[in-house]
Amino acid sequence: MRVEELESYGLRREYIHLLIKRGIEVLNPVQEEAVKGGLFSGLNIVVSAPTASGKTLVGEMGIVKAVQEGGKGVYLLPLRALANEKYDEFKALEELGFKVGISTGDYDSPAEDLEDKDVVIATYERFDSLLRIKPLWLRKVSTVVVDELHMINDPERGPVVEMIIARLRSLSARVIGLSATIGNPRELAEWLSAKLVDVAWRPVKLREGYYDKRSGSIVYADGGSEDVEDEFDDKILNLVSQSLSKGIQVLVFVHNRRRVEELAETTAALIGASKSKGLTSDVVERLSESPSRMEREKLLALMEKGVGYHHAGLSIQARRAVEEAFRARALSAVFATPTLAAGVNLPARRVIVSIKRYDPTSSKMVNIPVFEYKQMAGRAGRPRYDEIGEAIIADAKSEKEALKYINSGPENIVSKVSSERSLRIHTLSLIAGGDAGDLKKVMDIYSQTLGAKQYGGIEVFSNQVEKAIRALVEMRMVEELDGGLKATRLGKLTSFTYLDPLTVHYCIKYRPEDFDELDVLHLITTSVDYVRSRPYIPDSVVEVFEDEALHSGLARRVGLGRMSSVEIDNLITGYVHALVLRDWINEVDEDRIASKYEIGPGDLFTMRETVAWIAGSLAKIERLLGNVTFSTRLNRLSVRVQYGVKEDALELIRLRGIGRVRARILINHGIRTLQDLAKTPRSKLLSLPGFGVRLVESIYEELRSMGFRVEG
Ligand code: ADP
């Protein structure tokens, strides 16, 4: 179907021109089927199609139609990085006069600035928080695209998606769910009373195979094969060497961060990746923005040899540099953990996949789910560059095992909505947000979830919901009144901050008498909301601090004797995380922190974001409870954690161009406040390390806009 035909479905001509300008002249099969299947009729739609088949455009067209009709369109994604990427893509719609906005953080803000936006890109969590706060503009939302719908299977994010959808049903907004191939698309479509568009078409053909070390070959499922020289003990290195010698660019997925780095180093040292293009100045500049010298040096040395690596421990800047260099073909081999497959769109001619991963619970190597393999394999084949993409399993134990991954479909998506944590959070949210005033109404909304359908009815988990309500009553967040349910002020505030009620309860119960920064950090890093996204610190590091942790203030208050072994482990691990953050807010050099605790800049970033959010939210809770001083200190702690500064730098850090390092340079030169800064002569500022002309001008400008008289 040519895009011109979209006019007969009511899409404006300007939009069609815009599509053509973007190089989209003919609809891909999945898009055509969605259009013919009722994309513009207001039906709910579930799209199940492989990576890069063009699902985004299905969502986009749905949103464009909604906006043309005077509504608002919302596009939801699981991760902030993905939301940013999508926002950049959707900004193209501004040419049509559409206003496009993004919202990913600040859970308790009603985001009034989104009022006049036609299109809003948001993370699931952020949109869930908006459904609790209910800004007026929400009523105008007529189409919601849920991208990566298979995330319903995720124990953390899945229930959030289900609850968003369950609530949207009462808002009469239509849902367009987009998903990579999943086992049970029909069931999901039935749940949503949606039209199912299930298309297996891919823009580039995928050829799947596995490595057979004994016969020294890659065996393809289509019967073909390729010789692989047995140079190394390591199967992956053999495959990489063979690919690079044939000039094939490879993306290699392994499940362990250290191994990712080791493989990259060995490849650079022993194999050498002949690259077609050198690093561009953009890539080098981006890498130079990484906050860690160790990271910059290590990656640059590898990247100059055409090899890169990618995992969650890297800084955002380093990750972007690797992605860009790979896209520009300045890298011939990138080794990555699966976070890359779930995140950015980075196709490669050939993808090599390890299907074994270490499972810490059983201390054994286990096989990954088929679904995960498919997601990684789906990255093979670059539209417009490759005729074919290859996905090769590196470490199947046998042909049978390999063929299971290649030939069987992905697992079914299974609802996780009835987990204890999910029911606690979402039951409070329904009561506090005014969606449900009694048990029956709570159950009515849960009956709209996929869980209710899959577990064979709401009755199956109604006991657990009642248990969740009892727990909320005990935590003084919900009250039972005349057979109805009402949230207390504490309950409402908890729900609006987006914290787990248990985090709030725990942090109030075990808060120290006096504010001690390490003690409060320890409290926060042992709360459930921190633990769920806690980066890994190696056991060998954690063990060093075990004794100290067992003698901490928190250990005393909670009482070691009352704790289970899991709780004690959490106390110890949390203590080490608190030490990391204490170093950070006392301006210890980031590389020193990284080597002392064996973490990467990306890990520290995650820790900072989570703790800044928890501390800032607890500050609001403590204020409500009347603990004003404690609340003020928590607020300061939150900002310090965000920026990594001591208390005396909090004022200077408010300026955009001033980070932890520059703030300290200023203070060391006697410039302690914004007022001091406004009075400092230009020549003096320019003489300080790291203060160039452009920065100084922008500092002055910002000071002026804040009402200071600048004398420099
Ligand atoms: P998915 O969301 O299914 O993974 P995307 O929507 O990201 O896939 O599409 C992959 C690429 O294909 C994008 O670069 C997109 O611009 C391009 N694309 C999508 N639809 C078309 C089309 N009809 N014609 C040409 N290119 C298209």
Residue 249 labeled ligand binder:
no
Q: Which of 45, 46, 56 to mutate to test the pocket of ligand 1 (most atoms within 8 A of CB)?
A: 56
69 C-alpha to center of ligand 1: Å?
25
- pLDDT mean over 41-46: 93
Q: Given CA atoms 366, 182, 127, 464 in this order, what sign does their dihedral have?
A: negative
Tell me what pLDDT residue 45 has.
97
Q: What is the mean pLDDT of the chain?
A: 94
Class level of CATH domain 205-407: alpha beta
Q: Given CA atoms 181, 335, 313, 319 in this order, what sign does their dihedral have?
A: negative
539 C-alpha to center of ligand 1: Å?
43
Q: Is 27 in the pocket of ligand 1 (CB under 6 A)?
A: yes
Residues spanned by CATH 1.10.3380.30 within the chain?
501-644
Closest ligand 1 atom, CA of 28? 23
Residues spanned by CATH 1.10.150.20 within the chain?
652-705
372 C-alpha to center of ligand 1: Å?
21
- Ligand 1: which residue has its CA nearest to atom 1? 52
199 C-alpha to center of ligand 1: Å?
14
Q: Is 328 in the pocket of ligand 1 (CB under 6 A)?
A: no
- Ligand 1: which residue has its CA nearest to atom 15? 54
Residues spanned by CATH 3.40.50.300 within the chain?
3-198, 205-407
51 C-alpha to center of ligand 1: Å?
9
Tell me what pLDDT residue 181 has.
74
Instruction: Reply yes or no on whether the pLDDT at 171 is more than 80.
Output: no
Q: Helix/strand/coil (H, E, C) string of 147-164?
A: CCHHHHHCCCHHHHHHHH
Q: Which of 57, 345, 346 to mutate to test the pocket of ligand 1 (most atoms within 8 A of CB)?
A: 57
30 C-alpha to center of ligand 1: Å?
10
Contacts for 513 with CB less than 8 Å, ≥ 6 apart: none
Q: Measuring CA to CA, how many Å separate 281 from each of 298, 307, 323?
A: 18, 17, 14
- pLDDT mean over 429-442: 94
Beta-strand relationship, 217-220 and 225-227: antiparallel
Tell me what pLDDT residue 109 has.
78
Tell me what pLDDT residue 444 has.
93
Whole-angstrom distance, CA of residue 253 vs CA of residue 147: 23
pLDDT in tens, 258-312: 999 999 999 999 877 665 568 888 889 999 999 899 999 999 999 999 999 999 9
Closest ligand 1 atom, CA of 56? 6
78 C-alpha to center of ligand 1: Å?
19
Whole-angstrom distance, CA of residue 622 vs CA of residue 490: 10
- pLDDT mean over 679-696: 93
- Ligand 1: which residue has its CA nearest to atom 11? 52
Q: Is 63 in the pocket of ligand 1 (CB under 6 A)?
A: no
Q: Is 383 in the pocket of ligand 1 (CB under 6 A)?
A: yes
Share of the chain above pLDDT 90, in %: 86
Residues spanned by CATH 1.10.10.10 within the chain?
420-489
pLDDT in tens, 240-259: 999 999 999 999 999 999 99
Q: Which of 28, 47, 91, 386 to mutate to test the pocket of ligand 1 (most atoms within 8 A of CB)?
A: 28
Is 519 in contact with 553 (CB distance < 8 Å)? yes
204 C-alpha to center of ligand 1: Å?
12
Is 356 in contact with 365 (CB distance < 8 Å)? yes
Q: Which fold has domain 501-644?
A: Sec63 N-terminal domain-like fold (1.10.3380)
Q: Is 344 in the pocket of ligand 1 (CB under 6 A)?
A: no
Tell me what pLDDT residue 712 has.
66
- pLDDT mean over 460-464: 89
173 C-alpha to center of ligand 1: Å?
25
pLDDT in tens, 369-424: 999 999 899 999 988 889 999 999 999 999 999 999 999 989 999 999 999 999 99
6 C-alpha to center of ligand 1: Å?
17
Q: What tokens appear for 70 in the block?
A: 């005077």
- pLDDT mean over 170-194: 91
Q: Is 54 in the pocket of ligand 1 (CB under 6 A)?
A: yes
- Ligand 1: which residue has its CA nearest to atom 22? 24
Tell me what pLDDT residue 46 has.
97
pLDDT in tens, 342-372: 667 788 999 999 999 998 888 899 999 999 9
Helix intervals (H) in 10-54 = 13-21, 29-36
Tell me what pLDDT residue 346 has.
85
Closest ligand 1 atom, CA of 26? 23
Instruction: Reply yes or no on whether the pLDDT at 559 is more than 70.
Output: yes
- Ligand 1: which residue has its CA nearest to atom 18? 54
52 C-alpha to center of ligand 1: Å?
6
| Residue corresponding to tokens 């095992």 | 401
Class level of CATH domain 652-705: mainly alpha
Q: Is 48 in the pocket of ligand 1 (CB under 6 A)?
A: no
124 C-alpha to center of ligand 1: Å?
22
Instruction: Reply yes or no on whether the pLDDT at 341 is more than 70.
Output: no
55 C-alpha to center of ligand 1: Å?
7
Closest ligand 1 atom, CA of 89? 16
Q: Given CA atoms 614, 617, 621, 622 in this order, what sign does their dihedral have?
A: positive
Q: Is 570 in the pocket of ligand 1 (CB under 6 A)?
A: no
Residue length of the chain: 712
Coil, helix or strand for 44? coil
- Ligand 1: which residue has its CA nearest to atom 24? 24
State CA 403 to chain mean position distance.
31
Closest ligand 1 atom, CA of 22? 16
| Residue corresponding to tokens 């206003």 | 99
Q: Is 55 in the pocket of ligand 1 (CB under 6 A)?
A: yes
Task: List Cβ<8 Å contacts ≥24 apart for 107-114.
Answer: 107/496, 107/497, 107/498, 107/613, 107/617, 108/133, 108/496, 108/497, 108/498, 108/617, 108/620, 110/135, 111/135, 112/137
Beta bridge partners of 478: 487
Beta-strand relationship, 350-353 and 250-253: parallel
Whole-angstrom distance, CA of residue 226 vs CA of residue 214: 13
Closest ligand 1 atom, CA of 203? 12
Beta-strand ranges (E) seen in 129-243 are 141-146, 174-179, 195-198, 205-212, 217-220, 225-227
From the options 2.40.50.100, 1.10.10.10, 3.30.1490.190, 3.60.21.10, give the CATH code of 420-489: 1.10.10.10
Q: Tell me which residue of 271, 261, 315 sits closest to 293, measured CA to CA.
A: 315
Q: Half-sphere exposure (CA, 13 Å, Cβ side) for 168?
A: 27
- Ligand 1: which residue has its CA nearest to atom 8? 52
Q: Is 493 in the pocket of ligand 1 (CB under 6 A)?
A: no
15 C-alpha to center of ligand 1: Å?
16
The CATH classification number of 3-198 equals 3.40.50.300
pLDDT in tens, 199-235: 999 989 999 999 999 999 999 999 999 999 999 999 9
Q: Which of 19, 24, 61, 201 to mutate to test the pocket of ligand 1 (most atoms within 8 A of CB)?
A: 24
Instruction: Reply yes or no on whether the pLDDT at 110 is more than 80.
Output: no
Tell me what pLDDT residue 632 has.
97
- Ligand 1: which residue has its CA nearest to atom 9? 54
Q: Measuring CA to CA, how many Å separate 646 from each of 234, 517, 650?
A: 47, 11, 7
